[in-house]
């Protein structure tokens, strides 16, 4: 049960920061989302995101900062295994499952809403 509470608090805090940025700055949602991915990469490179992910579980791995962390970790692993070529392949390999799931969910949603609009 404590894992759920930790995930809720950390994930909620990440989302609350995004909402505050939307409410109190002139940043567009697209820039905020991109900033979250970049923040995940930077925090991962500094060695700060892994402890957060270990502590919060899905609360840190599901938000977009977790996607940035996955990209950075995949690139790091691929560079260790393949040398410089890993810079171009590692992030895609690490995030392929999430990207495929997002594409399939988008396809399914488009089919559902397309059929609904025709009725």
pTM of the predicted model, to two decimals? 0.73
Q: What are the tens digits of pLDDT across the range 40-80?
A: 999 998 999 999 999 999 888 888 888 888 888 888 888 88
pLDDT at site 91: 76
pLDDT at site 115: 64
How many domains would you assign to the chain?
1
pLDDT at site 17: 94
Which one, of 78, 4, 75, 10, lies nearest residue 45 by Cα? Answer: 75
Domain boundaries, position 10: 2-118
Q: What are the φ/ψ torsions at residue 87 (nearest 5 degrees)?
A: -60, -30
Q: Burial level of 19, CB count in 10 A (0-12/13-18/19+)?
A: exposed
Query: Is residue 117 over pLDDT 60?
Result: no
């Amino acid at each position: 049960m404590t894992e759920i509470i930790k995930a809720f608090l950390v994930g909620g805090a990440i989302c609350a920061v995004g909402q505050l940025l939307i409410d109190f700055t002139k940043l567009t949602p697209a820039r905020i989302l991109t900033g979250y991915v970049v923040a995940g990469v930077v925090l991962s490179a500094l060695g700060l995101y892994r402890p957060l992910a270990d502590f919060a579980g899905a609360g840190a791995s599901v938000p977009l900062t977790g996607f940035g962390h996955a990209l950075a970790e995949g690139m790091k692993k691929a560079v260790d295994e393949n040398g410089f070529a890993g810079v171009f392949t590692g992030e895609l390999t690490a995030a392929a499952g999430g990207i495929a799931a997002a594409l399939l969910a988008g396809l399914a949603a488009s089919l559902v809403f397309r059929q609904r609009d025709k009725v």
